[in-house]
């Protein structure tokens, strides 16, 4: 039996230039994590994970 399932649409922008990168939070073998915010709305905070 199949059920009706829809994936929610992600409201966040998908391009790196849609964000402002802040200070580095942490780093590992594969990526570095930065504090960030939306370029269009700096009150919306996020974390940016940049793969090495």
Structure tokens that stand for 31 in this block: 């990526």
**Which residue would you say has higher pLDDT here, 10 or 49?**
49
Instruction: Tell me whether residue 49 is annotated as binding.
Output: yes
Tokens 């504090």, residue located = 35
- How far apart, in Å, are the Cα atoms of 35 and each of 3, 6, 8? 39, 31, 25
* d(C-alpha 10, C-alpha 18), whole Å: 14
The pLDDT value given to residue 23: 98
Strands (E), the chain: 19-27, 31-38, 45-51
The pLDDT value given to residue 4: 72
Structure tokens that stand for 14 in this block: 């998908």
12-40 tens-digit pLDDT: 667 878 899 999 999 999 999 999 999 99
What three-state secondary structure class fits 14?
coil
Average pLDDT over residues 2-18: 71
């Amino acid at each position: 039996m199949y059920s009706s399932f829809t994936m929610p649409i992600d409201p966040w922008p998908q391009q790196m230039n849609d964000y402002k990168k802040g200070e580095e939070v942490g780093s590992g073998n594969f990526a570095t994590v930065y504090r960030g915010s939306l370029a269009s709305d700096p009150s919306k905070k996020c974390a940016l994970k940049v793969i090495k």
